[in-house]
Amino acid sequence: MTRELLLNPGSHGLGMTHASLRPDATATSVCGYCSTGCGLRIHLRDGQAVGLTPETDYPVNLGMACPKGWESLRVLESADRATHPLLRNAEGELEPVSWDRALTEFCERFKAIQAAHGADSVAFLSTGQIACEEMALLGVLAKFGMGLKHGDGNTRQCMATAVTAYKESFGFDAPPFTYEDFEQSDCLVFIGANPCIGHPIMWERVLRNQHAPEVIVVDPRSTETAMAATQHLQLRPKSDLVLLYAITRQLIESGYVDHDFVAAHTTGFRELTQHVDSYTPEYAAARTGLSAEKILRAAESIGQAKAASLWWTMGVNQSYEGVRTAQAIINIALITGNIGRPGTGANSITGQCNAMGSRLWSGTTNLFGHHDYADPEHREKIAAVLDIDPGKIPDENGWSYDRIVEGIRCGKIRGLWVIATNPAHSWIHQGDARELLDKLDFLVVQDMYATTETARQADLILPAAGWGEKEGTFINSERRYGVHRRVRVAPGEALADFQIFRAIGAYWGVGEMLTEWTDPEAGFRIMQRASRGQPCDITGIENYAHLDRCGGIQWPWSEADAETKSQGTQPGESMGQYHTPRPHRRLFGNGEFFTPDRRARLIVAEPRGMPELPDADFPMLMLTGRGSVSQWHTQTRTSKSPILRELYPNEPYVELHPDDASRYAIRNGEWVEVSSRRGRAEARALVSPTVRVGQVFMAMHYEETNRLTLSHFDPYSRQPSYKNCAVRLRSIKQ
């Protein structure tokens, strides 16, 4: 039997499936969890998915997948799927209704609110979890058809800081890197990032690095990534901007500046030099809790590297001064010339599977195709692309997520449409958010599941198909468009979001505006026209089949690119079955940026104090972040998989240092109460030196965590600062 038990990567069941159950076809689909954008091989029988394995040659994951990817099909089979429209009746119960009744109710009630309180009194909150084409159609329908000026996405919670930093520094929201850079750096710096848990396939790419790289982790917690680092700078929470300025100063003083690059391709170096002059190693040591020697060693490692890359995620983005911290990272890459070359870059790792798509196509903070609402030429261009009256396009941005929430508080927002997100769990200061949702005159939730915390508060639930039950494109962290395929039938009467938006358009009376939006690939062609001439130009992509054939394509890929560069593989660029313009492409290799003068901006600011410091009443500082590789966001999907539930703690937990456990007489594994000025939560104690004395950590995935968090925001990006608030602990008996 040895021969029969051999495992075959890429084969259904790894080659152990009985012949009677084997698939008769396969299709490649991009994973729908995180922004890595792994290629999954879907095994089909009679046109329906019967299993999946990682694509062995896909240029992103190279045959690897994390537990969430392996379980992507299983979570579609949950018993609590939303299968029919549900409308709250006079007794306050949700009851099934027809799609006709649901769509009529949707339109009549939202229109009534607008008639009574103005067109701007209805808003929408979208997501980074649906396809680009669905985001694009939603923005067109809501903003230009329904007249909803105010709409934002849950990507405000994860990526707004990186977007703002890139736009100000580079002139466009342009992550410059490719995943190959993980393998080509000889110095990798991770700031507020734990890819070992948050993006495990990216971490696998780091482990493939053959250059014995220096791995520097800047994090107040001893994360899994920090434990694998060559240098862990375990600084005080929210002192990272001071640290980065001190490293910048040391790079300048030690002669590690690429002056030719700085002179030719940046502005603001003199101001940067003056600004960081006072950030001596000794000053930074006192502020960060690190030794001056550790700071100097980190600066030397970056300065001496042939190719240094700097990476960040939510530890930077979810901060009250996240934009300036991200720009301090960008500054270091720029002044050392670590941009546009293999193994370099100031690289923001995206969170959700299509957060990048939301940034370009959702029509929330940017006009369709990352244009500017305030620019009349942009409005004219997009009106022509969409064949609509330019007067239907607003001339200013709508409100950000937090302003929409405040709009509910003050009565300016009376109706809300929530698509594929769960703010009653995920929004900062959760108790306040739930109270505000109850104030709405009409709350509509469009989701795969009828049991999310937000769906339970809804007046109307629209059942949506999930990943695997519809098609479209996602854009991953390295700017790669990939296709996800329809390989299952959605349960009951659930519809793809794309078709729900089309139906709402018809019932609202603007169906003619959406005539060309017949299917997702038709929407993609509209998007291509809108992208023409933009830094994110994709006019050179032929169709979905082209994306499949290439293993995804990174933007930009314009018609000019397609005409001047071979569509086949170049020497040394073969990716197995995939044939691509180039498997991996990075930006700014020519030193030209997207600003008017083509120079990058070096931007600085004075660090600000933490809004809520520990005190006598709340003496501990709470940190938050990802818990395990098998959990995802609010666990709406991952909790539906029995296998994934076996791989992570099913109860909330709080990490605390052994000294604090001794001080408060708390034993490992017992229940404790964690309280802040906003609420209380119960969690099991995990006594561990992963956090420092005076700090605790709670994973973001549990409903209890955001009962405690403080509503404060970066002033430039309006992104919430989830990762610091004052709490207290006490032992309780269950």
* Rounded average pLDDT over 143-171: 94
pLDDT of residue 572: 36
Residue 505 has which token pair?
A: 């358009």
Tell me the three state secondary structure of residue 341. coil
What is the pLDDT confidence band of residue 567, given thresholds at 50, 70 and 90? Answer: very low
Give every strand in the sheet of 231-233, ordered side by side. Answer: 231-233, 214-218, 187-191, 308-312, 345-348
What is the pLDDT confidence band of residue 257, given thresholds at 50, 70 and 90? Answer: very high
Identity of the amino acid at 431: G
With a CB cutoff of 8 Å and minimum separation 6, the contacts of 11 are: 17, 53
Residue 414 has which token pair?
A: 């009376």
Instruction: Match 């200061």 to its residue by tokens.
Output: 429
End-to-end, the C-alpha distance of the chain in Å comes to: 52
The pLDDT tens digits of the residues spanning 479-491 come to 999 999 999 999 9
Q: Using CA of residue 486, residue 490, residue 493, residue 496, what is the dihedral sign?
A: negative
* Rounded average pLDDT over 263-290: 98
Q: Which of 581, 578, 629, 641 is nearest to 28 (CA)?
A: 578
Asked if pLDDT for residue 568 goes beyond 50, the answer is no
> Percent of the chain at pLDDT above 90?
86
pLDDT of residue 379: 96
DSSP state of 459: S
Identity of the amino acid at 366: N
DSSP-assigned states of every residue in 537-553: --TT---HHHHHHHT-E
CA distance 193 to 452: 28
Phi, psi angles (nearest 5°) of residue 419: -120, 115
CA distance 530 to 700: 37
Q: Which of 516, 629, 543 is nearest to 201 (CA)?
A: 629
**H or E segment to which residue 243 belongs:** helix 240-253
The pLDDT tens digits of the residues spanning 671-702 come to 999 999 999 999 999 999 999 999 999 998 89
Identity of the amino acid at 53: T
Q: Which of 267, 278, 353, 339 is nearest to 310 (CA)?
A: 339
CA distance 652 to 646: 14
Instruction: Match 């159609």 to its residue by tokens.
Output: 137
CA distance 475 to 675: 39
pLDDT of residue 554: 96
Do residues 37 and 476 touch, judged by C-beta distance below 8 A? Answer: yes
DSSP-assigned states of every residue in 465-528: --TTSS-EEEE-TTSEEEEE---SPPSTT-B-HHHHHHHHHHHHT-GGGGTT-SSHHHHHHHHH
What is the pLDDT confidence band of residue 577, given thresholds at 50, 70 and 90? Answer: low
pLDDT of residue 584: 80
* Rounded average pLDDT over 454-461: 97
The pLDDT tens digits of the residues spanning 119-135 come to 999 999 999 899 999 99
Asked if pLDDT for residue 191 goes beyond 50, the answer is yes
What is the pLDDT confidence band of residue 6, given thresholds at 50, 70 and 90? Answer: low
* Rounded average pLDDT over 305-311: 98
pLDDT of residue 4: 58
CB atoms within 10 A of CB 591: 16
The pLDDT tens digits of the residues spanning 26-62 come to 999 999 999 999 999 999 999 899 999 999 989 999 9
